[in-house]
Amino acid sequence: MESPTRQRPNPEKAPLVQHTAPVNRLPPELLSRILTYMVNWNRFGLLQGYESWSQALHFCPVCRYWRDMALSTPRLWSIITLSIDFNRRYPPIILERLLAHVKRSQSTPISFKFTINGPHADPESLDPYLNALFDEAHRWRSFEFEAPWGFNSVLMKILESTEGKLVALESLTIDVKSLEKNMFNFLQHTTPAFHSLTLISEDSDFLTYDNLASLSIPFTQITNLHLDNITTAVLAFIEVCPNLVSAHFVIPALACRRPKKKAVPYHLSSLTQLTIEVSESSQKSSDYAFADVTIIIHSLKAPALKSFALTTDAKRFDARYDIIASKRNDEFAATLEGFLARSPDLTYLRVDCVPLKDQDLLRVMPVVPHVTELVLREVGKARKANTSDRSNNIITKTFLDALTVKRKSSPLLPQLRHIHFTSRDFALIQKSFQKFVDSRLGTSSHPCSTLQSAYIKFTHDGYRAFDWSHLRERQRAGLAIRIFFQWAIDDDDPYDSNDEDYDKDEKVFLGYDTE
């Protein structure tokens, strides 16, 4: 009998050796890049019951190879979130882990986010944590501060302690209830690397053009701006930041203070991306929620604009608002048409839950001939209303027929390649949608781009009568298409929202299934 120590290799086990786990075969540079993309934050604190949650630490127990790669990739440890809840006590291990992350990040720029919760307390209790990061202030690439009422003293302590040290700062986010002039003083010492500002606040008293212009702040360096405030503040920032490349404005539906005089024209020659979002737009009111949007886009000229999105958080509009909107939409649609006409190179257009009709949107289509991607989302019907009584009817038979390429007329949106529609009543438009798709698949005599992808979501449950064979053939021919029906758990909320906290059932007819 052959000794076990001298047994011949089993040929059946050879393939197993050649197919070992890929974690041991990935090249170091590739594994390091993959791990970097997987880390979004490393959180320290006791907010929401978590003592700490470090994504970077999760790689270390996988195997020795992954541990060595994680420890030798400083960028994994440079994304730090400090979440403080003054209702809790903090064990020493939290500070130890924070110091370990700072040390392992070596000389890599740090992304630091600081959030506060709980009642007002003595900021000195934060000193051990903040001092660990103050020592590395010269490495802060981005800084985010989020706190409720009463914590401006903590923010001021951070800004005063790092004044003149933030030589690598590129991005700043401040999310507080009230604003003070001193909060902006430290920006006087920023370097040319600073270019991104996010400001979220309910306080607008200080955000006027005269106040902003009086500050010795290099506003001309700001190219990326996210502002959540009223319209007067938006216009003030537009005026002091002439070199914006990307802007996202969030304005309330019911403005407490509108401009007293008509806004002067603003020329943003470098602006390529613009998003205007209207919050709390479902409120019952006699006021027109999009009057402020009209003010903003009427005063803007952005000839280099490539992407424009107009969105709301509305789930539905009540019947009274429907009457108001029908009277004011003509002015709004005309202003929107004029604004887009001043942006001839637009390639991405999104209209999300805005109370427009199909004819309002069709008047815009001729002035945006270079759009390649169109995203439309209708608002749900009002409670106890008939299906036809909607404030927002965009994706209709009339609209699709107008976009269908015909022989004897020039097509609208001739370069359209991607569509993303959310509609309630797909049954009413199915045949028109099929004709629209067929006309966009390169068979027309008119020079027209071939439709490459179509994403359709609908929420009316009449899908059982649909015939999908025609569109399935188009899918087999190469069209990337996904059509599905989705309904919310709450029967009182017939239209789906973007809330990811709810698991909504969906039935997929064409395309991939998420499960």
Q: Residue 511, by phi and psi: left (phi above 0), alpha (psi -120 to 50) or beta?
A: left
Could you tell me the pTM of the whole model? 0.85
CA nearest to 231, candidates 198, 256, 197: 256
Q: Are 455 and 471 in contact (CB under 8 A)?
A: no
CA angle centred on 192, ends 186 and 193, rounded to 5°: 90
Domain boundaries for CATH 3.80.10 within the chain: 202-377
Given this model, what pLDDT does residue 256 score? 55
CA angle centred on 213, ends 209 and 216, rounded to 5°: 150
Coil, strand or helix: which one is 256? coil
Query: What are the DSSP calls for 110-158, one per residue?
Result: EEEEEEEESS---GGGGHHHHHHHHTTGGGEEEEEEE--TT-HHHHHHH
CA angle centred on 430, ends 468 and 400, rounded to 5°: 135
Burial of 385 (0-12, 13-18, 19+ CB in 10 A): middle
Coil, strand or helix: which one is 455? strand
Given this model, what pLDDT does residue 257 score? 56
Does the domain at 202-377 match CATH 1.20.1300? Answer given as no
pLDDT in tens, 470-499: 888 999 888 999 988 876 444 344 344 444
**Amino acid identity, residue 365?**
M
What residue ranges of the chain have pLDDT lower than 50?
1-5, 47-49, 286, 382-389, 488-503
Q: Are 511 and 481 in contact (CB under 8 A)?
A: yes
Given this model, what pLDDT does residue 386 score? 47
pLDDT in tens, 361-409: 999 999 999 999 999 998 765 444 444 445 567 899 999 999 998 877 7
Given this model, what pLDDT does residue 514 score? 60
Given this model, what pLDDT does residue 312 score? 86
Compute the distance between CA of residue 152 and CA of residue 157 in angstroms, rounded to an integer: 9
* Number of neighbouring beta carbons within 10 Å of residue 363: 14
Given this model, what pLDDT does residue 40 score? 81
CA nearest to 157, candidates 118, 178, 186, 136: 186
